[in-house]
Amino acid sequence: MFANLHRLISRRPPPDYDRAFVETVRVTSPTLRHRRIERLILLAWLVIAAKCWLVLWAVEKYHVPVNPLWVIAPTIAFALLCTAVYFWRD
């Protein structure tokens, strides 16, 4: 801010004025999605859903004195993290 103010007051271009322009521009294409990996992620989510159902069923049937969310919540959290890392990678 002060450099611009000094330039405005002195009305002289800075010594590195010619170097301030863009010399090159690189455009990168977005990362391609892999259909095989996306199918694997979908299959993993189906397995996770089956596991969650199985845990709920087993806790109710055998009267295990533990809340099933202690098993289900970390599974869902880590699966969401892995899925987000895959889809938001760059």
pLDDT(19) > 70 = no
CA distances to 70, 77, 78 from 67, rounded to whole Å, are 6, 16, 19
Domain ranges of the chain: 2-87
Q: Between 13 and 83, name the one with better pLDDT.
A: 83
User: Residue 73: what pLDDT?
Assistant: 98
Where would I find the H helices in the chain?
2-10, 35-62, 69-87
Q: Which amino acid is at 54?
A: L
Of residues 53 and 90, more confidence is placed in: 53
Calculate the alpha carbon distances from 52 to 13, 40, 62, 68, 78 in Å: 67, 18, 16, 8, 14
Average pLDDT on 55-69 reads 96
For the chain, give the percent of residues with pLDDT over 70. Answer: 78
Looking at the chain, the whole-number percentage of residues with pLDDT higher than 90 is: 59
Whole-model pTM?
Answer: 0.66
